[in-house]
Every structure is written in C-alpha cells, then in structure tokens.
Structure 1
Amino acid sequence: MHNHGLGSWMAKRRLKSPDKTALIYGDGTTMTYRQLADAADRVSALLWGRGIRKGDRVAYLGENSPEFLQVLFGAVQLGAVFVPVNTRLAPPEIAHVLGDSGSRVLIHDAQLAERIAPALAQHEVPHVIETGDGTAERPGLARIVRTTTAGHADAEVALEDPAAIVYTSGTTGRAKGAILTHENLTWVSLNCIVDYDVVSTDVALMISPLFHVASLGMGALPVILKGATIVLERGFEPGRALELIERHGVTMLSGVPTTYQMMADHPNWATADLSSLKKLTCGGSAVPTRILNAYEERGMSFSQGYGMTETSPGATALAPEMTRAKQGSVGLPHFFTDVRIADEQGAMVPRGTVGEIEISGPNVFAGYHGLPDATAAAFTADGWFRSGDLGYLDPDGYLYIADRLKDMIISGGENIYPAEVENVISDLEGISGVAVIGVPDERWGEVPWAIVTVRDGASVTTEQVREFLDGRLARYKIPRNVVVVDELPRTASGKVRKADLRARFAR
C-alpha cells in the first residue's frame, strides 16, 4: 500500500472489521466498516473521474452525515486535500474559504444552495454536487455513489502530505487555512486513544459538527482508527441525545459546556438511563462547577482539555480523576505532545510563572495555507508553535490558562475573534470606533458585545448593527448588545484597553 495516510484507513478497517457497525444514523440505520469503505472507494472514483488528483482541494459544506466521512476518506485516498466548511458561515465567509483554498470541488447539502450562490458567483468551482439523492436530471452524491463502481484507490501519499485545510477565524480579520497533515491527524487520534482510553467496543455519540476540528480530529477519527462505533447525529437536541444514549448504550460523548448544561436541564435528565456512559470529554471552556456537580451526582466525571485548530486540535487533557484536585486546570500535555511556557523574549520561565504557551509535537500543523509570513511568525526559532495564549504550569506540570493574548471569545464552543467582527462593524455608517469583547452568559459561556463610538450627529442601535452584520458574518459572531460610549479607553500607543472594557461591562 502506497498511501501511508488517512487514505489507507478504510481499506484496513474493511480488512480487520468488515462486519462491525461503523455508523448508526438517522432513524437507526447502520453502516458497517465494509459498507463505509466501499462508499469511500466510490466517492474516490467519482472524484477521479472529475479530474481530481493529489493536492487538489475538495470542499464539503454540510451537516453531520455518512456522506461527510465518505467524502473525507474518498478524497484522501487520492491524496486530495479535504476542506470542511462551517455551515454557520455567511456567504462572504464561504466565498473566502472557497477562493483562498482554491477548491476544485464543492459538495454541499441541498438546503445550503442559496447560501453558496453568492460565493460561487465570486469564485468558480469546477464541480458542485449536492448531497442526498437529488433528481434523475440532477443526481445528488448518494445517487451517483450508488451507481459508481471502483476498486480502492492507492495514491502515493506520505504522512507529511496535507490531508485537510481547516479555517480558523483570523486575529486580523480574515480566516486562515490551517494545513493539517496526515501525520497531524494520525497522531492526534493516537493521543486521544491513549489519554481517553478509546477501545473498539466504544459507542460514541457524535452531536458536535464534524466540520469542527475537535469533532473530527478528537471525535470521529480516533473512534474509526480503533474500529469502534459512531452514533452520528445531524445536530444536537438535548432530549434526543439522552434518548440515544439509552437506546444505543453510548459509552462516549464529546461536547462543550453548553451541550452538557442543556442535557442536565432537560426534563428527562433525571429518568434517562445513562449507566452506559463512561467517557465524557469537554472543550471550548472550563466546565462550570454546577455542571460538574450535576454529572457527578449521576456517577460521571469529565475529561477537559485545551487546544486549537493548529494543534489538530488537542494539546492537553485533564483526566477525570483530577477534575476536582486540579479544578481550573486544562491538564497535562497529551502523551505525544509537549508544552512549555516562555517569556516575551522567548526564554523559558519557572513553573508558576505566567508566559506564552508554546506547543510541540507531531500533531502541530504544517502552517497557514498561502501565508508564509503568518506561518513563520507562528513558530519559534526552534520550531515550537506559539499559541498566543498566556498560562503557567503548576509544580506538577498541569497547565492553567491565565489570559488570551488574542482576546478570543468562546461562545458555545465557537471561537470568535473580535478583530474579524470589528472590521465589519467599522464599515457601518456613523461608527468611529469599535471594540468587541466577551461578556459572561449563563447558557453560552460568553457572548460578544460591541462597544462603539459614533461620529458627531450620528446614532446607532443594537438592532441596526445586528441587521447590518446579518449576512456578512455568521450569526454566532454577531454581538448580542451594542453599547455606545463617549470614547474607548486606549493605551499611549492608541490600542484599545479591552481589559478596562471587560472590567466595566463583563461583570
């Protein structure tokens, strides 16, 4: 076999566990590893027939479905590069992803056709295919795949070759494409298998979108690598999640604090049979004490962690047995990953001292697509990734996050970079200055607020700003509230002092 990356996984799973259930989806429909592998082969043949070769980009815009995984594995069999697109992005954001990545294929859910039309008007994509059956005149992916026959493709692919380009919101206002290699995604899967004790008998409920690197790199891929079973949901509804855990004997669940809170708040929480659920992982932000209490009362504890798209995404993990003893920590470095803390000059600091978190390991990305300067700036001279986050290591080596240099807001597990939102708000007539901050929110963890100044004689309202942003930004990025102030606090060099704004508004 010449494909040493993810493109070999399906053939090996078909050989090792052909009749094992790989996926459960929809109304309980199942797909074995043989069926999943055969479908990936047919997608590979379809792409090959459309002229897709090694290095070409294949974009996918859709909710969780078997087709997502079929396209992923079909693409990487050819050495093509998979580009998952966030379904919540606005048309201009979708256009940027398609144009920046140079995608030659876009496969998308039919209900998103109107969303992508403006993007396709800006950037020509040679091959556009809808998921599902489609019609006889315009067949969809599922119909095409059923009628395509092919053997397993075996392209020359090395571990260091790109497997995916995942877009992360940019600190300077434009999303950057993080290049994740086959090596990156393989090693992050191994980290999860080691640190979360993934076994072949696990049943993992996948309720978070696969287009998020956490759901893909730390959810689906480790489970598939071990030959376990995924219960794949298109979206999240807390009552249905509780019912699926009971029905399928789910052993693993990944989510963000909001996910777990909504399940614990559901009327069926107290009566749902959750006895099979043994492994809970949570990312995005710290799990509030009241959620810890709710799950511990049911005999469950969390694995928490820290990471980012550029680390595929896991960097650290806090074991369940340390949740209380090290509450507030994001844990120890993953087994095949290293973390260190550096000062402003790049020198290592003693434990207990706050500095920038730097990360090294085979899960750290290859760089930003088409951005050599940004890539160079993201790494130290000796090759460690500079996270841009501040933290410290305690005497036992556990990492604590002290602050975010990038001022990133995490709302319901979604990353929001203020600069991106600020750049768009600045285009609104009458705005003279803007700063976006995160404000605590009981349901979402935090939500964005815009603090603005206006030109003489002008006025703006929250409704005006939100209406202006609708269609320009994903809705989760749109500020919940807009506050007009006389002036924004600034440093001597003119930078907005966001710490002052957070102290005033984010209480």
Structure 2
Amino acid sequence: MRNRGLGFWLAKRRLKNPDKPAVVFGDEVLTYRELADAADRVASVLWHRGIRTGDAVAYIGENSPQFLEVLFGAAQIGAVFVPVNTRLAAPEIAHVLTDSNARALILDIEFLDRAMTGVESGRIAHVIVTGEGLPENPGLAHLIAEAPGGHTIADVTLEDPAAIVYTSGTTGKPKGAVLTHGNLTWVSLNAIVDYDIVSMDVSLMISPLFHVASLGMGALPGILKGATMVLEKGFEPGRALALIAQHGVTMLSGVPTTYQMLADHPAWESTDISSLQKLTCGGSAVPTRILNAYEERGLHFSQGYGMTETSPGATSLSPAMTREKQGSVGLPHFFTEVRIADENGDMVPRGTVGEIEISGPNVFPGYHDRPDANETAFTDDGWFRSGDLGYLDADGYLYIADRLKDMIISGGENIYPAEVENLISDIEGISGVAVVGVPDERWGEVPLAVVTLREGADVDTTAVREHLDGLLARYKLPKDVVVVDELPRTASGKIRKADLRAIFGKK
C-alpha cells in the first residue's frame, strides 16, 4: 500500500526539514514536524469515525494551521477535501455540502449556524468544530491531542481525487471541480518553476486558502519546496505591511485591489519591504498606476490567468515582460499548453480571437456528478474549453479578449451573473433582468443589475439587495440597480450584455 498523492508530502518534509518553520500564525509557529504530526492525528480522527478512501470531508474556516492539517490528514487516508467559501450564504453552503456528498464537516464555530441546513439535508455523519469546541462537541484541537500519532498510509494514486472545489455555474448552481492529486502536484511544480519558489522563501498568505489560487499557487508549492508560510485570517493592509517587515516576507500573492490598498496605506512609504522579491497577481490585469507605485520601490509583478478547472494556473507573465507585454496574461505554464479555437473547434492563426483551450496534467478530469457539463467541457481530443475568448500574439503570449461566460471578477472573487439573475427574477414586479460587471476603482469591477419592470411596479436597489441578502454571498449583491424600458436583445432574443457594459460601464 502506498500513497503517491499529497498524503505523503508532510511526512517527507518532517524527514527532511523537521525543525524548519512551516507555518507562522499570529504568535504560533509550527515546524514541519509539528504540522506533520498534527496531520497524522487528523487522519486518525477521521479514520476512527469511519471516513474512508473516496469519502468527502468538507471544511469551512478562515486561514489557519488547521485548514492545512485537515487537508493533509484527509489526503493521508484518501479522503476528498472540500474547501467551502466562508462568504457563502446558508443555501449556497447547503448546496456544496449536499452536492459533494460530504460525510464529515470540520468548521470554525462561527459558521455552525449557517451550515446547519446543509448538515441536516446532506449525508454528514460527523460535525467537528475547530479549536477546543463545545462541552457536548469536543473541538478538533482536543481530538488531535487525544488521537494516536503515526502516519497513516492509504493506497492513493495521482489519478485519485484530492479535492472538490466549487466554481459558480453559468446556469445557476455551482459545480464541483474534481482536482486530483496529480492536478495539485503538477500545478505546484508549475508555480515552483515559473515563479522561482525556493525553500528560503517566506510567503505571506493573505488570500483565503479555500480559493484554489491561494491553495494551488501559494500554499502547496511552498510546502512542496519546504518554504515558510505566514498565515493571516484576513487582509488588513497596515497589518500586512507590518508582517512583511517583521518576518522578512519574500513572496506575496493577491489581486489588483490587494496591491492598491497596500500602496494607498499611510505606512507604505515608511515600511521596510526590502525583503520582498516576488509579487504574483491574478484576477485581472494590474493597472498602470499600481505598476508604477511598485516599480518606484524596485518591485515587479508576475501576472497570470487560470481558473478552478486548471488547479488554477494556466499562464504566467514574467516580471521581465510586464511592460513589454502589458495587458497580456503571459505564456503557458511550464507543464501546460494553450491554444485558440474558432466556433467549429479549428485552430486559428496568431492574432485571431477565439476560445481559449487548455491542456496539461494540471487540468481537472471533470465536474463532480455532472456528466452533462463534462460532455461540453472538453474537446474531442481532451482539451478543456475555458469559455473565455482570447488570442495569442506573434510570440505566443496570451491576451484575454472577452469572457464568453460573462463572468464578473470583483476583488478576485468570481461572480456568474446567471446565479444572481435567477434570484432577482423571483422578485415581484421584475419582468426582465441582466447582471453585468461595471468598473470599480477599488474592486476592479462590481455587479450591476439592469432590470425591466411590470407596469405599475416599483423596485429599487434596496429592495433587490434585501431580497438577495442571505441567499447569496454579499460580494455577489448588485452594487446598484438600473431600471430600463427594455433590455437590448439579439434577433434570437438573447440579451446583448456587451451593449449594457458599454452603456453603464462608462458611468
């Protein structure tokens, strides 16, 4: 019996670098030995509760060492880790828990009430809170302390599922992207190669680990190389700057909003950030103003493009090409390939816009229990159809032209309009709705709802947001609602969202 997946990583690190700091969390410092020992005990806790290979273990919590302990503990016994976005509303959490068929749920206590609908309607047999827990429900910290040690070895291959990560669906309900142990291993290698991650790096993790970008491009490659992570529950620019100076942080990942807030903070000029060497940015292109602010301090960005289905990295733009190829998302990662196809699936010449297709060992095998979606997600020769439009220039650099799926990226969070539109359509008095992204100085873009009303109806922004509040994560709520006489449509009746973005994106 042999575990070839993520489940052996910490045991190897414990052997090679037992006393190296693995995680810094507030005043707590865990070495690789301590992190590996805790993961071993989590594996024991799960195993003695009947969790077996292939069972799903869901986790709802902010960044903490326990997130990693559960991830790697589950991987040891071949269980499938399901990280849940902490910003989701109760119905959204319930969908993830039931759709994934989770057998166990581990969560921070503040999310317990929000998760109960999913617990009651799903297959969850065990609910464990992090920390010390409750009198009637001993917490994970207590269970770990009581559990027997020793590394559990399960028969796991690189083709076996390691995680199910949910991505908002274009037709409403989020879909679970199944990421294999091989997917997460190869995306980690891509990051190590293209971002020059080394064992001496100290990475400040301010983005949530439940996001595949933070996990697949930050935490996992860092652990694979034996680097140190400084984990933060959330992002506060002043504290982030202080941590960079305090811990000699060398690597930072975020979205344009992250970097803008750091540069705009009063402590920006006075903070010693001389240790910083690597800045990675995703979500959208870095605006020139932010490039300038960081270049004035000798810092340059690596930018990239990807999605949950590619674990998530697909391309990266090296710092050396930031200005020369400004606007590009770079070249395919080392072990990944990208091509452009027309509507018939034929390859198009360089400079021609078409659908971006991606291939490589980091590309997922399919969606959980969604044969309908899987049938259209891949080409006949196995390439993933991203649903995004772009083109390759003469040098092979990728440029994003448009989002075929109309996805909105707000502060690094993906918002699919269909999910929001479906709920707005339920509001009394609304006869038609289209949700589009419009520019926002702080978040990059925010959702705007454009609606038509039935005769005599009176619906405003407050009414729409109140209806959606509790049904959707708050970042998905439209910032504003605009009432129009009619929505622009094609001859076949489809709403012309490009027209709406052109009209309202200027305001």
* TM-score with structure 1 setting the length: 0.99
Counterpart residue identity of residue 279, structure 1: K
How far 1:121 moved relative to its partner?
Answer: 3.1
Correspondence for 1:32 = 31
Q: What letter matches 2:95 in structure 1?
A: H
Instruction: Specify the alignment match of 2:345 in structure 1.
Output: 346
Cα shift at 1:29: 1.4
Q: Deviation at 1:116?
A: 1.1
Cα-to-partner distance string for 1:299-329 (whole Å, 9 max, x where unaligned): 1000000000000000000000100000000
Q: Which residue identity lines up with residue 154 of structure 1 in the other structure?
A: I
| Residue matched to 1:327 | 326
- Partner in structure 2 of residue 13 of structure 1: 13
Aligned-pair identity in percent equals 76
2:398 paired residue number: 399
Corresponding residue for residue 4 of structure 2:
4
Alignment partner, residue 310 of structure 1: 309
Q: Distance in 2 between matches of 1:42 and 1:124?
A: 24
Q: Any conservation in 1 of the 2:44–2:148 contact (CA below 8 Å)?
A: yes
Query: CA shift at 1:88, angstroms?
Result: 0.3
The residue identity in structure 2 corresponding to 1:186 is: T
2:127 equivalent to 1:128:
yes
In the alignment, residue 479 of structure 2 is paired with which amino acid? R
Query: Secondary structure of the residue that 1:174 maps to in structure 2?
Result: strand
Task: Say yes or no: does 1:46 pair with 2:45.
Answer: yes
Matched, 1:189 2:188: yes
The letter for the 1-side match of 2:369 is: G
TM-superposed CA distance for 1:124, in Å, is 4.3
CA distance in 1, matches of 2:307, 2:358: 11
Aligned match of 1:388: 387
5+ long unaligned stretches in structure 2: none
Kindly provide the amino acid, as one letter, of the partner of residue 125 in structure 1: I
Superposed counterparts of 1:146-225, under 5 Å = 146-225=145-224
Q: Report what 1:295 is aligned to.
A: 294
Change (3 A) 1:353 1:303: same
2:68 maps to 1:69: yes
Deviation at 1:123, TM superposition (A): 2.4
Is the Cα–Cα contact under 8 Å of residues 45 and 147 in structure 2 kept in the other structure? yes
CA contact (8 A) 2:430 2:453 kept: yes
In the aligned structure 2, how far is the partner of 1:156 from the partner of 1:318? Answer: 38
Q: Is 2:39–2:69's contact at 8 Å kept on the other side of the alignment?
A: yes
Q: How does 1:212-251 map to 2 (within 5 A)?
A: 212-251=211-250
Q: Distance in 1 between matches of 2:42 and 2:444?
A: 39
Alpha carbons 2:391, 2:401 under 8 Å: kept = yes
> Runs of 4 or more off by more than 3 Å in structure 1?
none
Aligned counterpart, 2:272: 273
Separation of aligned partners in 1, 2:475 and 2:153: 41
The letter of the residue matching 1:15 is L
Q: What one-letter code is carried by the residue in structure 2 that aligns with 1:346?
A: G
Aligned mates of 2:441, 2:343 — CA distance in 1: 35
- Give the stretch that moved more between structures: 119-128 or 344-353: 119-128
Aligned residues: 506
Cα distance, 1:38 vs. partner?
A: 0.3
Separation in 1 of the partners of 2:502 and 2:257?
Answer: 24
Please state if 1:99 is matched with 2:98: yes
Instruction: Give how far 1:125 is off.
Output: 1.4
The whole-number CA distance in structure 2 between the counterparts of 1:425 and 1:73 is 40
In 2, Cα distance between equivalents of 1:264 and 1:122: 46
Give 3-state SS (helix, strand or coil) of 1:359's partner: strand
SS in 2 for 1:240: helix
Letter in 2 for 1:311: T
State the secondary structure of the residue aligned to 1:487: coil
Q: Distance in 1 between matches of 2:448 and 2:68?
A: 36
| Counterpart amino acid of residue 145 in structure 2 | R
**Residue 80, structure 1, aligned to residue 79, structure 2:** yes
Residue pairs, 1:353-392, within 5 angstroms: 353-392=352-391
What is the CA distance between 1:187 and its match in structure 2?
A: 0.2
After superposition, the C-alpha distances for 1:25-76 in whole angstroms (9 at most, x for unaligned) are 11x3100000000000000000001000000000000000000000000001
Structure 1 segment 406-417 matched on structure 2, within 5 A: 406-417=405-416
C-alpha displacement at 1:366, in angstroms? Answer: 1.0
CA distance in 2 between partners of 1:345 and 1:135 (Å) = 58
Mapped contact 2:434–2:451 kept (Cα < 8 A): yes
Counterparts of 1:112 and 1:103, CA distance in 2? 16
Distance 1:53 1:123 in 2: 18
Q: TM-score when scaled to structure 2?
A: 0.99
Q: Which amino acid aligns with 1:185?
A: L
Which amino acid letter does the alignment assign opposite residue 10 of structure 1? L
State which drifts further: 413-422 or 115-124: 115-124
Corresponding letter in the other structure for 2:264: D
2:128/2:137 contact within 8 Å kept: no
Deviation at 1:143, TM superposition (A): 1.2
CA distance in 2, matches of 1:459, 1:494: 25
How far does the alpha carbon of each residue in 1:115-162 deviate from its partner, in whole angstroms, 9 at most, with x for none?
112322332411001111124442110111011113111100000000
Letter in 1 for 2:190: N
Return the letter of the residue paired with 2:156: V
Q: Which amino acid aligns with 2:12?
A: K
- 1:181 CA displacement: 0.2
| Distance of 1:179 and 1:216 partners within structure 2 | 14
Amino acid aligned to 1:127: H
Please give the alpha-carbon distance, in whole angstroms, between the structure 2 residues aligned to 1:343 and 1:498.
Answer: 21
Deviation by residue 1:186-242 (Cα, 9 ceiling, x = unmatched)? 000000000000000000000000000000000100000000100011111000000
In the alignment, the residues of structure 2 paired with residue 295 and residue 211 of structure 1 have an alpha-carbon distance, to the nearest angstrom, of: 28
Q: Does 1:496 align with 2:487?
A: no
Q: Secondary structure at the match of 2:82?
A: strand
**Aligned letter for 1:78?**
I
Residue equivalent to 1:448 = 447
* Distance across 1 between alignment mates of 2:33 and 2:290: 39
AA matched with 1:20: K
